[in-house]
Amino acid sequence: MYLKVSEIFYSLQGEGVDVGRPAVFLRLAGCNLRCRCCDTAYAWEGGGEVPLETLQERLKSFPCRYLVVTGGEPLLQARGVAGLLELLSSWEFSLETNATLWEPKLLPRFSLVTASPKLPSARVGPFPHGVFSRYLEILPPRLQVKLVVDGEEDWRVLEELLRRYPSLGNGVPLVVQPLERDEGPLEYLTKSRERAEVFLRKAAQWGRKDVRFLPQFHKLLWWGMRGV
Segment interacting with ligand SF4 (CB under 6 A) among 70-78, 153-161, 185-193, 212-220: 70-78
Q: Are 33 and 100 in contact (CB under 8 A)?
A: yes
Near ligand SF4 by CB under 6 A: residue from 77, 94, 98, 216: 98
Output 33 or 87, the one with its CB closest to ligand SF4: 33
Site residues for ligand SF4, window 169-188 (CB under 6 A)?
A: none
State the burial class of residue 225 (Cβ atoms within 10 Å of its Cβ: 0-12, 13-18, 19+): exposed
The contacts of residue 81 (CB under 8 Å, 6+ apart) are: 3, 28, 69, 74, 75, 106
Output 41 or 200, the one with its CB closest to ligand SF4: 41
Near ligand SF4 by CB under 6 A: residue from 14, 16, 47, 72: 72
Window 33-52: contact mask with ligand SF4 (x via CB under 6 A):
xxx--x-x------------
- Alpha-carbon gap, residue 50 to 37, rounded angstroms: 28
Contact call for residue 71 and ligand SF4 (CB under 6 A): yes
State the burial class of residue 33 (Cβ atoms within 10 Å of its Cβ: 0-12, 13-18, 19+): middle
Residue count, binding to ligand SF4 (CB under 6 A): 10
- Alpha-carbon gap, residue 99 to 108, rounded angstroms: 14
Terminus-to-terminus CA distance in the chain, angstroms? 27
Q: How far is the CB of 77 from ligand SF4 (least distance, A)?
A: 13
Residues that bind ligand SF4 in the complex, under the rule CB under 6 A: 31, 33-35, 38, 40, 71-73, 98
